[in-house]
Structures are given as C-alpha cells and as structure tokens.
Chains A and B, each alone.
Chain A
C-alpha cells in the first residue's frame, strides 16, 4: 500500500465550478502538507503549504487537513480553464525531510 493515495481522475468540470481534490495517507507521522500544480512537461509549482490540521485559504484556493481522518483536500473556487493541470498532494514527516507525493489528479476545466 502506498503511503499517499490520490485518485488520478481525470476530472472534468465546467468553468466556474468548485473543484474538490483529495488525498488520503496512512502514516500518522506526516505533519506538513502541500499541494502542487503541474502543467504538462513542466516542474511542479507550489500552491499551498499547511502544517498540522486546519484550513488555509489563498485567493481561490483553500487547503484543508484532517489529521484524525488522515485526509487532505484542496478546493478551487470559480475554476478557470487555466486551472487545467495535474494537482499533486505531498507530505512530509519533519521539516525539510523528503516529501511523499500522490500520483496526481488530472483536472480539465471546460470553457
């Protein structure tokens, strides 16, 4: 079993929709949680970074962490065609140690 599970999709939504992306994990030692966006043939771009449980909002993006359920989410409001990309969740046990990635969810926002 992988330490981080992520539904690969693909996910297709109309422009303006609210998108919900999720990951589950098995290791309770994870404390730092990140979401990256990756366009085709490009490197991952950091979107959100959170520590422990709780919510964090940045513009149209909201990250949620529920450590009791070992479940993290990324919500995208008012989705745009430019949001079409693969979204990767990542997590680490300690500050600066290696990150464990999900497989990524492919999102397409249809104009």
Chain B
C-alpha cells in the first residue's frame, strides 16, 4: 500500500495523559499536513511541513500540541496533558509541492479522551 499511513487507528486515553500519533506520507511527497476533525465538521488545519521545516501552525495548535518531521520523512503529533475536548479524528495528508496541490489523506487516528 503506497498511500498515507497513520498509526494507531484508534487511541483511548485518560485525561491528563500524553499521546503520540505517527504519520508516514506517500514516499515522494515533500509536504505533510495535520488536520483535526470532529463529528459533523470538516477537517480543521493544524500545521504543515515542507520537508523537515514546519512552515505554518494554526492557532488551534495550543502549546500542549507539538509536531515534528525529522529528516523530512514520517511525522509525529504529540498531545500533552490531554483534555476531553481533544477527542477527535486526527488526519494526516501529504502532497508533492511541485505545481499541483492535490493532497491525499490517511485513514486518521481516532482519539477518545475519557
């Protein structure tokens, strides 16, 4: 499978715990995006990387959230001291920044904070 891969698919955690999600983009894609989606809403932008550089962060990305993309390959999104309001689907997408802007999404990580 050469699509965007996200792990884990589901995560249940207790409030106050830290969680980390992983995204493996399509191999030749140099841009990687994180979005968050809650029930009945469209995805909301969190942040994106071009190669290893984090180029933009949303105001939604509070200081409890941190994202990295070491070596410009896979990326991780960490949420510290989780809150119930963090419960959502976390989506990763990748694109090839070379003329087109088609972005392809992974299957997402569904986070439930109890």
Contact = CB atoms under 8 A, between A and B. Distances in A.
Contacts of B48: 97-98
B45 A88 contact: no
A46 B43 contact: no
B40 A43 contact: no
Interface string B19-32: 00000000000010
A9 B65 CA distance: 33
Q: What size tier do the contact residues of chain A reach?
A: 20 to 34
Contacts of B100: 49, 95
Given A43-B108, A45-B105, A46-B104, A98 B40 contact: no
Contacts of A90: 42
A96 B101 contact: yes
Contacts, number: 65
Interface residues of B, number: 29
A49 B91 contact: no
A43 B35 CA distance: 11
A49 B102 contact: yes
B31 A96 contact: yes
A60 interface: no
Interface stretch (A14-22, A68-76, A101-109): A101-109
A64 interface: no
Interface of B: 4, 6, 31, 33, 40-45, 48, 50, 56, 58, 89, 91, 95, 97, 99-108, 110
Given A43-B91, A46-B105, 15 more contacts: A4-B42, A32-B101, A36-B105, A41-B89, A41-B110, A43-B107, A49-B100, A95-B97, A97-B56, A98-B33, A98-B58, A101-B43, A103-B40, A103-B41, A104-B42
Interface of A: 4, 6, 8, 32, 34, 36, 41-46, 49, 88, 90, 92, 95-104
20 contacts: A41-B110, A43-B91, A43-B108, A46-B102, A46-B103, A46-B105, A49-B102, A92-B101, A95-B97, A95-B99, A95-B100, A96-B31, A96-B97, A99-B43, A99-B45, A100-B45, A101-B43, A103-B40, A104-B41, A104-B42
